[in-house]
Amino acid sequence: MHDFWGPVYICPSPTIPQKCQPRMEISKTYCSDNCYRMRCSLSRNTLDLNHRFEPMSKSRKINSSLNSGVTLPSLIFILAVCLASAIFPGRVSTVLGVVKNFIFVNLNWVYVWAVTVFVLFLLFLMFSKYGEIKLGRNDSSPDYSFFSWISMLFAAGMGIGLMYFSVAEPMQHYSNEIFANSSYVNSAKNAQLYTFFHWGIHAWAIYGLVGLALSYFAYRYKLPLSLRSCLYPILKDRIQGRWGNTIDVFALCSTFFGITTTLGFGVVQINSGLHILGVVHETGFVYQAIIVFILVSIAVFSATTGVDKGVRILSNLNIAVVIMLMLFVLFLGPTVYLIGSFTEGLGNYINNFFNLTFNTHVYEDASLPWFYNWTILYWAWWISWSPFVGLFIAKISKGRTIREFIAAVLILPTIFNFMWMSVFGNSAIWLDNHVSGGALSALANDPDALMFRFLEYLPFTKVISFMVIAIIMIFFVTSQIRGCSS
């Protein structure tokens, strides 16, 4: 019999050698230090070939599971950006500004259409006959009970962004000069509406779509749970090769910068909070570097030693604290006003849903920069997070039907975001109008500090401010650990 890989040595459970056909991908799994099991695979058909003896080569001693086809190009890109911004900070900043402006002006329609198509496609899928298809075998049942599934979806949306933007975003829309000619009521309503727009169904349609594609191809086509599998119908077996790598490189770079941005917001806000509380003397790069250093050390320490269980407990505890914080503001703020404005905001959002979806501000020159800086940037940010969040919701949703999946993913986190944004944003606007006499909105150009300035109008300012800083720090650490390992 023709032997493909040289002589066979005595190994545990030897099998008859077979020939790998051309076009088959060969992979090896080491069952001990010097023996491996070879597998030939053609798409989903895997053939166990043999146990072979082979002394481990030197390169295997560097214990790594990184795939060079994905890691190398991504690392080169990331390190190049890193290096460039370290050596020529000024020039990098200028170039980035130019590129950003170019995308804003000439390519914003790509983002607008992409997100619009995502939303419409998911809505279509939810109501179509395909909604009955299960993300898993037809005879399987979900991995998680309905209640724990929902609560995990609720938690999936929480993070640094909520802490940073809950006061800052409504406040900045509210005090924006573009909307200045409208009345208080209109400004307040618009502020809430646009915040809902950016944090609502559109954001979750992006995550939901990526999550759906990931889980669908993993659980029904039995492909690996990875982004390259999502293009299997077009690429077929090529997802194993260069094409698949290309997709993963784009996904990796995108995720990388998305998480970096979020961490950036976190650091800046922590810095600002500590400054307001008098712990540090000023805000600036040095302090931010120190904060990042401390938080990253904690993250690395807990990821490399055995305390990641502790991190999980901390992260669950954090979610409980976040909800308590929301209830605190709800009850000590203008409670009835908040409930009413949540209701009205929800109705306003539903009524304006399609208006907002298709609004490109193309006739309003004055508000175009606003549109770019908020909506387009948000869409980019959510898209960059989608591999990460998508992977998480894909993992927990095995066994759900597509209809259940889409409905839950679009609605549940959205509702939580809306409640959160209403409680914080509308409290701030109400306080600004009824208590502080415009002092809060005057600070809108310093969004890093807005959350803490807002807390100054509520009782227990210091305690709550420290609590907020702790929450952001824990979010920083947990999202870094999750982002890195996802």
Smallest separation, CB 203 to another protein (Å): 13
Residue 295 · residue 473 · CB < 8 Å: yes
Residue corresponding to tokens 């600004």: 432
Residue 190 · residue 182 · CB < 8 Å: yes
Smallest separation, CB 211 to another protein (Å): 11
Annotate 21-53 with b (16+ C-beta within 10 A) or e (fewer): eeebeeeeeeeeeebbbbbbbebeeeeebbbbe
d(CA 303, CA 156): 20
Smallest separation, CB 35 to another protein (Å): 18
d(CA 352, CA 397): 30
φ and ψ at residue 24, rounded to 5 degrees: -95, 145
38 vs 299 by CB, closer to another protein: 299
Smallest separation, CB 356 to another protein (Å): 19
2 vs 61 by CB, closer to another protein: 61
Residue 208 · residue 412 · CB < 8 Å: no
Smallest separation, CB 349 to another protein (Å): 23
d(CA 3, CA 21): 12
Smallest separation, CB 140 to another protein (Å): 14
40 vs 70 by CB, closer to another protein: 70
Smallest separation, CB 26 to another protein (Å): 15
End-to-end Cα separation, the chain, in angstroms: 44
190 vs 480 by CB, closer to another protein: 480
89 vs 310 by CB, closer to another protein: 89
192 vs 254 by CB, closer to another protein: 254
301 vs 354 by CB, closer to another protein: 301
**How would you class 281 by CB atoms within 10 Å of its CB: exposed for 0-12, middle for 13-18, buried for 19 or more?**
exposed
Residues 6 or more apart whose CB falls under 8 angstroms from that of 287 comprise 271, 274, 275, 280
276 vs 394 by CB, closer to another protein: 394
23 vs 281 by CB, closer to another protein: 23
Smallest separation, CB 178 to another protein (Å): 19
Smallest separation, CB 42 to another protein (Å): 10
59 vs 63 by CB, closer to another protein: 63
Smallest separation, CB 485 to another protein (Å): 5
Give the single-character DSSP code of 89: H
Rg, Å, the chain Cα set: 25
Amino acid at 264: G
* Residue 26, H or E segment: strand 25-32
Smallest separation, CB 305 to another protein (Å): 8
Residue 160 · residue 149 · CB < 8 Å: no
d(CA 2, CA 16): 11
CA distances from 6 to 40, 54, 161, 407 (A): 16, 10, 57, 55
3-state percent breakdown (helix, strand, coil) of the chain, nearest 5: 70, 5, 20
Annotate 374-398 with b (16+ C-beta within 10 A) or e (fewer): bbbbbbbbbbbbbbbbbbbbbbbbb
Can you give the three-state secondary structure of 98-137, one letter per residue?
A: HHHHHHHHHHHHHHHHHHHHHHHHHHHHHHCHHHHCECCC
| Strand 35-42 with 25-32, pairing | antiparallel
Smallest separation, CB 293 to another protein (Å): 8
